[in-house]
Amino acid sequence: MTSWVGRTAVEIAAAVREKRTTPREVVAEHLARIEALDGRVGAFRTVRAKAALAEADEVADRADLAELPLAGVPVAIKDNLAVRGESTRNGSAATSEAPAGEDHVTVARLRAAGAVVVGLTNVPELCVFGTTDGVHGTARNPWDTARTTGGSSGGSAAAVAAGLVPLALGNDGMGSLRIPAANCGVLGLKPGFGVVPADIGHGDWFGMSENGPLATTVEDARLMFGILADTAATDPPGSAPSGSAPPAPSIAVSVRSPLVGVTVTRAYADAARRAAELLAGAGLTVRRADPPYPLWLGTTSLAHWTAGTAMDAEGLDPRLLTRRTRVHAAVGRRFLKGVRAGDRREQLRRRMEPFFAEHDVLLTPALARRGPGAANWHERGWLRNLLVNTNYAPLTPPWNLTGRPAMSVPFGTLPSGAPCAVQLVGRPGRELELLSVAGRLEELNPWSRTAPLDRPDR
C-alpha cells in the first residue's frame, strides 16, 4: 500500500485527481500520524479528525475534482485565523470559545482549491513572542524536542516539519513565519504588503502582518502562495518572455545583524556565506553588501511590536492574560500615537530603496542563533522574554516594517544536527523571484524534508 505521509502536496493532489488514492485515505493516514506523534511535538491545539474525514469525502464528491490544485491535501491552520465551526483562541485564555461562523478568506481559498483542514495549530498568546507555549500547549522543534519550534507560527511549522501535514498556513508580523520555519527546517514565505489578504487581529499590526505558506519544497510553497494570493504562480514581473530563461537576479549577501549589540553566531553567518558561494558558482551575480540599517531600528521595532499587541489586547480581560502579555501591551500603549503616524516606517522604506535599486535580492542568515529551550516562557518575566527573542531573531523585523517580501530557506545544519537556514528578501511584488532563488538553493543544497521523529532512537 502506498504511503502518502511524507509526500509533497503536489504529489498528493496529483494522485487524488488521477484517482490513484482518495482524499479520505490521505487524510486518515495523516490523522494517524498526528495521533502517534503530536504528543511529542505539540503542534496542534485542536485536531478535527471527524470533521476532516467528512470534508475529505466532500472533496471526493466534487464535480471539479480533476481541476483542484490541492485535491485532498491535508493542511493545518494557525490558531489566529478563523476556521468555520471552530473557536479561534489565539493562544489565550482570554479569547472566546465561540465557534467561527465562516472561514477566514485564506482558509476559504485553500478549501476551494481542495485542501482539507485537519486542525488548528498552537501559537503563543496573541501571537506575540518567538516561542510557542502557553495555556493551550507547547510546540517543540521536531528535530530537537528539547528546543522551541519558534513563534508565533510555531505549531504550523512543527506540523510541517514532523510530516503531520504537507502544508500549513501561518502569518508573520515581525518574523512569525520565518523564525519557526528556520528552526524547523521548512520554507516560510512572508509575502509583501497587500499581496495576500491579511485581516489578522485588530489592524494586521498596522499593516505589517501577512499570511503565508509553510512547506517542505519550493514547488509546494509556490503552489500554496499562488492559491493564497488568488493568482497563477507564474514568472515574476520583468522576467524574460515565455520559452527563454529569465534574467538572473543580482544578490547582495550580508551577515551583519540589523540591531546594534546583537551578534550573529558563526553557524548562521557561515550558512549565509556558503549559500552565497553556491549561488555565485551557479552563475548568479553575488556581492557582499550590508543594508543601511539605522541606529534607531531597534526602538522602532520595539514600538511597533508592542503597539500591535496593545491593539490586539483591547477588549480582552487582562486578568486572563499572562503577565508578559499584559506588560507588552502596556508598553505598546505608550507608542500607539507615534506608530499610527507611520513616520519611522516611511523613513526606513526610503532609506532601503537605493539598496534594493542596486540589488534584486538580499541574502542574510535567517536567525542569529538557535532557538531557546522549549519551556514555559509565558510564565517568565517580560524583560527576559524580550531579550531572548531579540538576541535570537533580530534579522526578520525590518522587512515587516518596510512591507517587503521575505522568506526563510533551509540551508545546512547546526552543530547539534538541527536545521540551519538563510533568509531571502526582495523587492515589492517579487515573491516569485524569491521562490526562484530558493529553488536554486534547493537544487544546489537539498535539505531533509521531514524530521525523523518515528525513528527508534529519536
Find out whether the peptide bond into 152 is cis, omega within 30 degrees of 0.
Answer: yes
- Sequence-separated contacts (24+) of 335-343 with Cβ below 8 Å: 335/302, 335/303, 335/304, 335/306, 335/307, 335/310, 336/307, 336/310, 336/311, 338/303, 339/206, 339/303, 339/304, 339/307, 340/206, 342/206
Taking a C-beta distance cutoff of 8 angstroms, is the pair 327, 218 a contact? no
Per-residue pLDDT band for 458 (boundaries 50, 70, 90) equals very low
Residue 361 burial (C-beta neighbours within 10 Å; 0-12, 13-18, 19+):
buried
Task: At 69, list the grid cell.
Answer: 490544485
Q: How much is the pTM?
A: 0.96
- What secondary structure letter does DSSP report for 162? T
Residue 310's pLDDT is 98
Give buried/exposed letters for 254-275 (b at 16+ CB in 10 A, else e): bbbbbbeebebeebbbbbbbbb
Q: Which of 102-106, 199-203, 312-316, 382-386 has the lowest mean pLDDT?
A: 199-203
Taking a C-beta distance cutoff of 8 angstroms, is the pair 93, 129 a contact? no
For the chain, the domains span 9-237+251-444
Question: Which residue, chain included where needed, has cell 523587492?
Answer: 427
Residue 238's pLDDT is 41
Instruction: Say if residue 1's pLDDT is above 70.
Output: no
Task: At 441, list the grid cell.
Answer: 538553493
Catalogue the active-site residues: 78, 152, 176
Taking a C-beta distance cutoff of 8 angstroms, is the pair 412, 420 a contact? yes
Distance CA 406, CA 367 (A): 13
pLDDT in tens, 251-301: 999 999 999 999 999 999 999 999 999 999 999 999 999 999 999 999 999
Report, at the CATH architecture level, how domain 9-237+251-444 is classified.
Alpha-Beta Complex (3.90)
Average pLDDT, the chain: 95
Distance CA 153, CA 41 (A): 14
Per-residue pLDDT band for 100 (boundaries 50, 70, 90) equals very high
